[in-house]
Amino acid sequence: MGIAERVTSGDIRAVARLIRDIDDKVPGAREVLKDLYPSTGRAYVVGITGAPGVGKSTLVDQMLTHLRKAGKTVGVLAVDPTSPFSGGAILGDRVRMQRHSMDEGVFIRSMATRGYFGGLTQSTRSAIDVLDAMGKDYVIVETVGVGQDEIDIVQSAHTTIIILIPGMGDDIQALKAGILEVGDIFVINKADREGADRTVNDIRLMIEMDEKRYRNGWKPPILTAQAVFDIGTKEILDEIEKHRKYLTSSPVRQSRVEYEKARNDLAEMIKDKIVHEVLEDIIHSGEFEELLQLIVERKIDPYTACDTIVSTRLRSGSK
């Protein structure tokens, strides 16, 4: 049996190995992804993001319990940051989801962000496809919501949940123009803490000021939760279901969603491939370092350096 067939039949080892090969950019993995593509598009993808420690993994753990009770199978991708200094990472999201590790209907995979040359976004996106193709009803992607990469990932989700906690105060202000804009559902976790009402109000104000964006019929709900005690999980899942119905209720809207998703995915994929092939290539060949040296010595300007690299690389045709 080929790898693609093993994946679609739900073979855990094949799935695990394929995700690793995708992450390591093993050339064969791309071919398998091509074969798998016709089997994708069935899973419902939920993105969960928020600052470190707000309770993302704990909420995912509770959601798993509810979804499994409802007979749904779930794949989880838990993304943790790579250390910018050593390149290593500690992937600790599984700790909160331990009790599901023996459940055959749940597949949990940790992934590291691996630097900033576009690695994370593309491998996570491909890993979503793999879990989709293996037949999971839901794929939940959990990311640390601190950067552009994370926004990109949640944009390839059908429903994006932003988790906040009371007392973030000015952090919310700072986040306003970033990750908060992509939320379909807001959850104020640890809602027993002081200031929960204020946080709810802050978010409500933010959403209401942005009314134009929500005119098409989906105004993000703001829910409170205490994920540790499983308070609010059911309501969150209900809202996901409502959002799903909203997306699928009109054929026009659904095709626009699919179109936007495809547009985003393809653009990211092209960027990733170019970055990978041009940037990594010149880094390996030492050309990158040479140019940097020239720029630092002010013998060349970075604009010219960039134009030269890009035009010669792209004209000669990438492999």
Partner 1 sequence: MVAKPGLDGHDRGARIIARTYRDAGFEVVYSGLHQTPEEVVQAAIQEDVDMIGLSSLAGAHMYLFPRVVELLKEKGADDIVVCGGGIFPEEDIPKLKEAGIKEIFTPGTPLREVVKWVEENVKPRSS
- Give min distance, CB of 133 to partner 1, in A: 16
- Give min distance, CB of 71 to partner 1, in A: 21
Q: Which is nearer to partner 1, 70 or 102 (CB)?
A: 102
- Give min distance, CB of 136 to partner 1, in A: 13
Q: Which is nearer to partner 1, 138 or 186 (CB)?
A: 138
Record the tokens describing residue 130, joined without a space.
């793999």
- Give min distance, CB of 295 to partner 1, in A: 28
On the 0-12 / 13-18 / 19+ scale of CB atoms within 10 A, 277 is: middle
Q: How far apart are CA 17 and CA 23, in angstroms?
A: 10
Q: Which is nearer to partner 1, 110 or 264 (CB)?
A: 110
Record the tokens describing residue 232, joined without a space.
């609010």
Q: Which is nearer to partner 1, 7 or 291 (CB)?
A: 7
Q: How far apart are CA 90 and CA 293, in angstroms?
A: 34
Q: Which is nearer to partner 1, 61 or 239 (CB)?
A: 61
Q: Residues 6 or more apart from 71 whose CB is under 8 A from it?
A: none
Q: How far apart are CA 121 and CA 153, in angstroms?
A: 6
Record the tokens describing residue 78, joined without a space.
């838990």
Q: Which is nearer to partner 1, 113 or 122 (CB)?
A: 113
- Give min distance, CB of 66 to partner 1, in A: 21
- Give min distance, CB of 230 to partner 1, in A: 19
- Give min distance, CB of 90 to partner 1, in A: 5
- Count of all residues that appear for the chain in the document: 319
Q: Which is nearer to partner 1, 102 or 296 (CB)?
A: 102
- Give min distance, CB of 306 to partner 1, in A: 29
> Cα dist. 220→161, 236, 243 in Å?
9, 12, 9
Of the candidates 41, 39, 51, the residue with the CA atom closest to the CA atom of residue 6: 39
Q: Which is nearer to partner 1, 98 or 255 (CB)?
A: 98
Of the candidates 180, 207, 225, the residue with the CA atom closest to the CA atom of residue 63: 225
- Give min distance, CB of 86 to partner 1, in A: 5
Q: Residues 6 or more apart from 58 whose CB is under 8 A from it?
A: 96, 227, 228
Q: How many CA atoms lie within 13 A of 42 on its CB side?
A: 18
Q: Which is nearer to partner 1, 136 or 158 (CB)?
A: 136
Q: Residues 6 or more apart from 32 whose CB is under 8 A from it?
A: 2, 3, 4, 7, 18, 21
Q: Which positions touch partner 1 (CB under 8 A)?
A: 12-13, 16-17, 19-21, 26, 28, 82-83, 85-92, 94-96, 98, 101-102, 107-110, 112
SS3 50: strand
> Cα dist. 125→32, 52, 121, 214 in Å?
14, 21, 6, 26
